[in-house]
Amino acid sequence: MTTSPDQKKTSSQHTSGMWGGRFTEATDAFVAEFTASVQFDQRFYKQDIAGSIAHATMLASVGVLTEAERDDIIQGLNTIQTEIEAGQFNWRIDLEDVHMNIEAELTKRIGITGKKLHTGRSRNDQVATDIRLYLRDEIDSTLATLKQLQMGILTLAEQHTHTIMPGFTHLQTAQPVTFSHHLLAWFEMLLRDSERLQDCRKRTNRLPLGSAALAGTTYPINRAYTAQLLGFEAVCENSLDAVSDRDFAIEFNAAAALIMMHLSRMSEELILWTSAQFKFVQIPDRFCTGSSIMPQKKNPDVPELVRGKSGRVFGDLMSLLTLMKGQPLAYNKDNQEDKEPLFDAIDTIRGCLMAFADMIPALVPNIDIMREAALRGFSTATDLADYLVKKGVAFRDAHEIVGKAVALGVAEDKDLSELTLEQLQQFSNLITQDVFDKALTLEASVSARDHIGGTAPKQVKAAIERGYVRIENLYTPAIS
């Protein structure tokens, strides 16, 4: 069947203005909606506009645009951004994504000059630039919230360097520690998270723009100047890799998964500690909920929900890894699916960190209950063995002696400190009266571990002081 010129013109008019020349029929309405990403990638609008302003500025600097054209583009883009932020911009599904929506609106307003903006670039390098700009901003925001949480942990730790609690292995009482010492373990986890994010930021902060679709461009662009305008530390060196690389997003999601794993471990402890069986800490009511039928209930909903949300962030990481594992170079439409797992991980860790940053400094430890718990489970047994070793007993022999003493304590339902000197001397005549001061008190136990990383209160205080310094040294260069 022969198609008339008029029919061809009508068909072409119904295709997208961005690529209509090649197509002879309009995109199916369902396909247009199915392939659109503007529903979720419109959150890139600031980064897209910033990238376009930098691109236009660079094009004018090399003579591809006139200064007047550059100024018209920049003014038009700034006006569009103002309207977006005021909720007055009409996002169109038929224009597929944030980039085409903004460019089409710019062209509508300033005419043919708007069409010149896309000179020397492709949506492939444009979206790769936007996602890096966006993630860079979100990393900085996440680091700021992590710092707030870390400061809150140090503040709480300062108040409890002498608050004794049991330390656990296998969830069984092991040795006494202080509440501060335990909090500093959380601090170390989160400090590693900050280091990972800052390291990820370095690899994120490289400019893909100028790679165009996959092979670069014939225009005399200045990528170094564009990178400078956008605050990138370097340019991506290979055009094929630049448009198809999503390692930085995977790396961020891996760091996010580790953050959530740490928050989940902290949550698990808080859930245990607030139970009637432990009663170690109290979480303020504002972070808890009750039961619809049991009036006595005070549920630790924030820690429980954070523990649950860790699973979705782990899934976001797996989504990105699976997305990328089978893709040939260079860009593929698959990569439209990179954004939602990234956005979800960003949003989830932001909410969880904000909740913890508010909640952790507000925890109230039940000091007496913690101490009483540390007295149960023979937590000073190792100290008694060390006491014997210092008197010349081989450690394996000391271990056996103390094991027998513990068996007696179990039989009589007494802690080692509650046994009499005569009872202890059944197992070794090297045990003398000083054992009760040097080995079997909780205070002696924690104070005896007097080295960096140990439980001695003066070491914990020093660790807190170092923590404040480490935070300042870590964050000052990254977010300046």
How far apart are alpha carbons 159 and 346 in whole angstroms?
32
At residue 292, the pLDDT reads 85
Residue 323 in any domain: the answer is yes
Set 61, 194, 244, 291: catalytic member: 291
How far apart are alpha carbons 56 and 120 in whole angstroms?
10
How far apart are alpha carbons 151 and 169 in whole angstroms?
27
Residue 7 in any domain: the answer is no
E strand or H helix at 72: helix 67-85
E strand or H helix at 463: helix 457-478
Query: Are 39 and 166 within one domain?
Result: no
E strand or H helix at 149: helix 123-158
The label of the residue with tokens 């790396």 reads 251
At residue 354, the pLDDT reads 98
Set 37, 162, 170, 292: catalytic member: 170
Residue 41 in any domain: the answer is yes
Residue 233 in any domain: the answer is no
How far apart are alpha carbons 230 and 250 in whole angstroms?
22
Three-class secondary structure of residue 276 per DSSP = coil
Query: Are 177 and 157 within one domain?
Result: yes
Phi/psi region, residue 354 (left: phi>0; alpha: psi -120 to 50; beta: rest), is: alpha
Residue 232 in any domain: the answer is no
CA dihedral 278, 454, 389, 421 (to 10 degrees): -40
**Which CATH number do you get for residue 137?**
1.20.200.10
Q: Please state the φ and ψ torsions of residue 122, each to the nearest 5 degrees.
A: -130, 165
At residue 241, the pLDDT reads 98
How far is C-alpha 454 from the geometric centre of its chain's CA atoms?
A: 28
**Which CATH number do you get for residue 387?**
1.10.40.30
Residue 14 in any domain: the answer is no
Query: Are 386 and 468 within one domain?
Result: yes
How far apart are alpha carbons 465 and 467 in whole angstroms?
5
Q: Please state the φ and ψ torsions of residue 455, each to the nearest 5 degrees.
A: -90, -10
pLDDT along the chain (480 residues), means of 10: 39 47 69 82 96 98 98 98 97 94 97 97 97 98 97 98 97 96 98 98 98 97 98 98 98 98 98 96 92 87 97 98 97 93 98 98 97 93 94 96 95 93 95 93 95 97 98 72
Strands 281-282 and 172-178: unpaired
At residue 17, the pLDDT reads 52
Summarize pLDDT for 180-227 with one digit per residue, the tens.
999 999 999 999 999 999 999 999 999 999 999 999 999 999 999 999
Query: Are 185 and 299 within one domain?
Result: yes
Query: Are 274 and 156 within one domain?
Result: yes
Query: Are 364 and 429 within one domain?
Result: no
How far apart are alpha carbons 125 and 88 in whole angstroms?
28
Supply the range of the domain harboring residue 467. Answer: 375-478
Among 320, 341, 372, where does a domain finish?
Answer: 372
At residue 1, the pLDDT reads 39
E strand or H helix at 135: helix 123-158
- Establish whether 160 is a catalytic residue: no
Query: Are 177 and 72 within one domain?
Result: no
Q: Where are the beta strands (DSSP E) in 170-300?
A: 172-178, 206-207, 234-235, 281-282
Query: Are 137 and 209 within one domain?
Result: yes
Among 119, 144, 177, where does a domain finish?
Answer: 119
Query: Are 290 and 388 within one domain?
Result: no
Q: How many domains does the chain have?
A: 3
At residue 22, the pLDDT reads 66
At residue 31, the pLDDT reads 75
Work out the number of other CB atoms within 10 angstroms of the CB of residue 39: 11
How far apart are alpha carbons 296 and 274 in whole angstroms?
14
Q: Where are the beta strands (DSSP E) in 41-182?
A: 164-169, 172-178
Query: Are 37 and 170 within one domain?
Result: no
At residue 296, the pLDDT reads 85
Residue 21 in any domain: the answer is no
Query: Are 105 and 134 within one domain?
Result: no
Query: Are 154 and 243 within one domain?
Result: yes
The single-letter code of the amino acid at 111 is G
65-84: string of b/e by CB count within 10 Å (b at 16+)? beeebbebbbebbeebbeeb
Residue 230 in any domain: the answer is no
Among 119, 149, 181, where does a domain finish?
Answer: 119
- Establish whether 14 is a catalytic residue: no
**Which CATH number do you get for residue 90?**
1.10.275.10
For the purposes of burial, counting CB atoms within 10 Å of the CB of 360, is it exposed (0-12), middle (13-18) or buried (19 or more)? buried
Beta bridge partners of 208: none
